[in-house]
Amino acid sequence: MSSVEASSTLRHAAFVLRGNPLTAIAAAGALVLALIAIIGPSLVPYDPVASDVPHALQPPSASHWAGTDQLGHDVFSRLIVATRLDLAIAVIAVGISFAIGAVIGSLCGYAGGRLDRAVGRFVDVLMAFPLFVLAMAMAAALGNRVENIVIATAIINLPFYIRFARAEVNVRRNLGWVEAARACGDSHLSVVLRFLLPNILPAMAVQMSLNLGWAILNAAGLSFIGLGVKPPTPEWGIMVAEGARFISTGRWWLVTFPGLALMLSVLCFNLLGDGLRDILDPRMRT
């Protein structure tokens, strides 16, 4: 991208953010989450896995901003450290499923015929199952390690991108500019990767943003039911699961703070999707 194109994209992004306050707030929230994930663990006031039983189950105070849990862990420190793990799982899983699914879907949509129909039927069968149940089965079979959670999350997100890319490329494969690329001597693979796939990326941006929020919920849900990351690793789903046992005794902070972290992160990525579409889609520029 040239400097002129980059400058035009930045000006258009600023215009979209000024015209849509919710998108601006979501973008700021996503940026804050990313910064917390990058530098937060080095700034936490307490060791997130160090027990301090004499100070267990203390409410929020000046020394422990989000209170302590049943083992005396500082809840605020665990929340900050858990941000890196949850975002890393979501970003890596969605990135893998997007890269593989977009290429497979684009090639199938471009080729058509039996390959396209076979892949389409496979995706339909896969999406017929409750995807979280499928993730539970894979996590139980592979074991509750971080890399296995990433694999399970990537696999259940894969059908969305295959289906989306297949449909978008199928609509565009016989347009004039695609015919012109073929007439210039470009191979079929080159036409898909150089022309068709970049053309559908803005349309897929919304799906990617939505899937990031859903991937965070999926990882937290697996941890909540005991099939995700193992304790005492700081993770939002584990913190909610452990805190749920103390709701009846009035220890509200054990569930409230990790629950808010989950809610706000998913909300940010959901709201960001429409803004990304407006920023990346050249048809939105005037």
Residue 223: inside a domain, yes or no? yes
pLDDT, one tens digit per residue, over 124-182 is 888 888 888 888 988 888 887 888 899 999 998 998 899 989 888 888 888 888 888 88
Residue 221: inside a domain, yes or no? yes
pLDDT confidence tier of residue 195, bands split at 50, 70 and 90: confident
CATH number, domain of 257, equals: 1.10.3720.10
Residue 58: inside a domain, yes or no? no
Encoded amino acid at 33, one letter:
L
Model pTM score: 0.86
pLDDT confidence tier of residue 284, bands split at 50, 70 and 90: low
Residue 61: inside a domain, yes or no? no
Q: Which is more confident, 42 or 2?
A: 42
Domain range enclosing 27: 3-47+67-284
Distance of CA 116 to the CA centre of its chain: 27
Q: Which is more confident, 65 or 185?
A: 65
Residue 89: inside a domain, yes or no? yes
Residue 57: inside a domain, yes or no? no
Of the candidate ranges 70-79, 98-107, 195-204, the one whose mean pLDDT is the lowest: 195-204
Please tell me the total count of domains within the chain: 1
Residue 25: inside a domain, yes or no? yes
pLDDT, one tens digit per residue, over 26-58 is 888 999 999 999 998 888 989 898 888 888 889
Q: Compute the distance between CA of residue 65 and CA of residue 171 in angstroms, rounded to an integer.
A: 54
